Amino acid sequence: MSQQNIYDNEKFFENFKNIRADKINFNDIIETPIITSMLPPLEGKKVLDIGCGMGQHAKQYAEMGAQSVTGIDISEKMLSCAVKNNSADNITYRRLAFEDLDKLSEKYDVVTSSLAFDYVEDLEGLMKNIKNLLNKDGKVVFSMSHPISTAYDGVYDRYTRTESGEKLYANLHNYGAEGKRKIKWVVDDYELYHRRVSTIINEIVSAGFIIEKCREAELPEEIVKKYPEKFGGLIHHPDFIFFALRKAD
């Protein structure tokens, strides 16, 4: 596979595992409640979770009544954690890159993905492949890093702060320059793809979907007040963006 597989890098994997294991993490506190609120009822549905990582969402969807959940991911390390910690009789984990979705022979009622599409070079192509995997009336719900996050190119800090360190405002640099970003995060050459909001919307629509709902990262004020250093930036800078889609035809 020629795709980036940074989650199999020992240092990167250990760091991600520790972040995800922290009780107060962005995934469980921000991402999971929002994506869950956008899902259709899962009872009796066949679900595909793309970039399933350590399987927390796959397990959640099985517990929400899905008939079956298939979790795919490129990373062996992430998948072995998924098998160890988040298995169930109706969950199948498979090592498969999202660039190779055409290797799946089944159809699904609901396709989900949490924070994996940052790594997609051809979003429109991926969305077309997802459309081909959907049953009639199938739905897609996914999250990815918000373009205000993916714009970050390492030239300036993400925030301008007060002298005491409080986040005063978010810095946005080169938002209009789309494409691959190579930045320093845990490793020296962490890669992701930056697209403007309009590009994401247009690629989803060109692939043949109707956007039913879009949300951005947000939190109840009491949680932000309780953890100001962790979540205080959210008011300036929504870390994630979420879409719920149905097929246009």
Ligand X SMILES: C[S@@+](CC[C@H](N)C(=O)[O-])C[C@H]1O[C@@H](n2cnc3c(N)ncnc32)[C@H](O)[C@@H]1O
Q: How many C-beta atoms surround the C-beta of residue 240 within 10 A?
A: 23
Determine the size of the site formed for ligand X (CB under 6 A): 19
**Main-chain phi, psi angles of 205, to 5 degrees:** -70, -45
Buried b (16+ CB within 10 A) or exposed e, 138-159: bbbbbbbbbbbbbbbeeeeebb
Q: Which is nearer to ligand X, 27 or 150 (CB)?
A: 27
- Distance of closest approach, residue 27 Cβ to ligand X, in angstroms: 5
Q: Is the Cβ of residue 99 or residue 203 nearer to ligand X in the bound state? A: 99
Is residue 159 a contact partner of residue 234, using CB atoms and an 8 Å limit? no
Of 26, 91, 93, 21, nearest to 59 (Cα)?
A: 91
Residue 68: strand pairing partners: 46
Q: Which residue is nearest to ligand X (CB)?
A: 53
27 binds ligand X (CB under 6 A): yes
> Taking CB under 6 A as the criterion, which residues in 57-116 touch ligand X?
57, 73-75, 78, 97-99, 114-116
Residues 6+ apart with CB under 8 A from 142: 35, 50, 111, 112, 113, 114, 117, 242, 243
Q: In the complex, what is the shortest distance from the CB of residue 78 to ligand X, in angstroms, rounded to a whole number? A: 4
Give the interface segment with ligand X, choosing from 51-59, 103-111, 160-168, 206-214 (CB under 6 A): 51-59
Q: Does 237 bind ligand X (CB under 6 A)?
A: no
Which residue stretch of 38-46, 50-58, 157-165, 205-213 sits at the interface with ligand X (rule: CB under 6 A)? 50-58
Measured distance CA(194)–CA(203) in Å, rounded: 13
Residue with smaller CB distance to ligand X, 142 or 166: 142
Which of residues 34, 39, 42, 56 is near ligand X by CB under 6 A?
56
Site for ligand X in 3-22 (CB under 6 A): 3, 7
Q: Report the residue from 39, 47, 51, 110 that binds ligand X according to the rule CB under 6 A.
A: 51
Residues between 116 and 145 that touch ligand X (CB under 6 A): 116, 119
Residues of the shown chain interacting with ligand X in the complex, contacts defined by CB under 6 A: 3, 7, 27, 51-53, 56-57, 73-75, 78, 97-99, 114-116, 119
